[in-house]
Amino acid sequence: MSIFVRMSKEFLFRTTDNESIRITSFGIENISEGNCIIFVHGFKGFKDWGFGPHLGNYLAAQGFFVITFNFSHNGIGEEKNEFTELHKFRTNTFSREVRELSEIIDAYNSGFFGNNQKNKIGLLGHSRGGAVSILTASKNSNVDALVTWSAIAKLDRYSERQKKDWKEKGVFEIENARTKQIMPLGIELLKDIEENGNDFLNLKIALRDLDKPLLIVHGDQDLAVPLHEGEQLFEWSDKNLTEMFIVQSAGHTFNIKHPFEGSNEQFDLVLAKTNEFFKTKLNNS
């Protein structure tokens, strides 16, 4: 797939608690007329990982204004491809990410990125970012359509033994397979899941309340988030508003690597399906 590189622009956004969110937008020339797509990265993900810039350029070439960003506590600082802020990564929570995504939506609507005439907004979330997008969209009336890629269906992904050790040590350590870094999860994340998992962070309830178009995209060879989690999300969703698209011979990132080595047949298919969905649903909503 050949696309023209669109005009991009960097922004630094300050959250209500004065944290920094680094943003790269694509298609700034589309902001006044085009609808907005906000890409939400996943766990150990970031806006410049692998397919991030490529999807930004692709959707901008289709006429959208695209926002890609790093959550303030995703571990990425000024070095856009390196985890240099593990102290922040340690204290990140789902609730923080839902709040920060909502603040970016508000910033778009208030003209932070430029005069947009309050065009329609679509969320595009990958993996954990898919769950955050569902939770946010169910609570935010300014979101008009939603696409998830390889989204998780459960936030609590830890065994009872792991949680017991986590509480005793105050930290749960995981290895980043790509960088070999040991990345700490503080007790804040576990508390957030346990205290809010039955209401504010309940995906089943969020999908029940989601009254807007949803496309669930999942690879049939996903080892990180198995296909049955995507099927679970579909089961909870309103079938009148939801479509599921299974990508054959595709893994968790649809066979895209970091650093980006180019697209492939599976990812081209995912991009085309996502573009078609947003063009149809945002123009009709």
Mean pLDDT value across residues 265-269: 98
C-alpha–C-alpha distance, residues 42 and 152, integer Å: 10
Residue 169 falls inside a structural domain: no
pLDDT interval class at 1 (50, 70, 90): low
Q: Tell me phi and psi for residue 186, to 5 degrees.
A: -75, 170
* Predicted pLDDT at 7: 80
pLDDT interval class at 3 (50, 70, 90): low
* Predicted pLDDT at 6: 63
Provide the domain count of the chain.
1
C-alpha–C-alpha distance, residues 79 and 69, integer Å: 14
Range of the domain at 128: 8-155+198-284
In tens, the pLDDT along 202-261 reads 999 999 999 999 999 999 999 999 999 999 999 999 999 999 999 999 999 999 999 999
Residue 188 falls inside a structural domain: no
CATH number at residue 123: 3.40.50.1820
> Helices in the chain by DSSP H: which ranges?
52-61, 86-90, 94-109, 128-139, 160-169, 187-196, 203-209, 227-236, 265-284
Residue 180 falls inside a structural domain: no
* Predicted pLDDT at 5: 60
* Predicted pLDDT at 118: 77
Mean pLDDT value across residues 1-18: 83
Q: CB–CB of 13/107 below 8 Å?
A: yes
> How high does pLDDT run on average in the chain?
96
Mean pLDDT value across residues 94-105: 98
Residue 257 falls inside a structural domain: yes
Residue 179 falls inside a structural domain: no
pLDDT interval class at 49 (50, 70, 90): very high
Residue 239 falls inside a structural domain: yes
In tens, the pLDDT along 154-192 reads 999 999 999 999 999 999 999 999 999 999 999 999 999
* Predicted pLDDT at 116: 86
Whether 151 shows a pLDDT value over 90: the answer reads yes
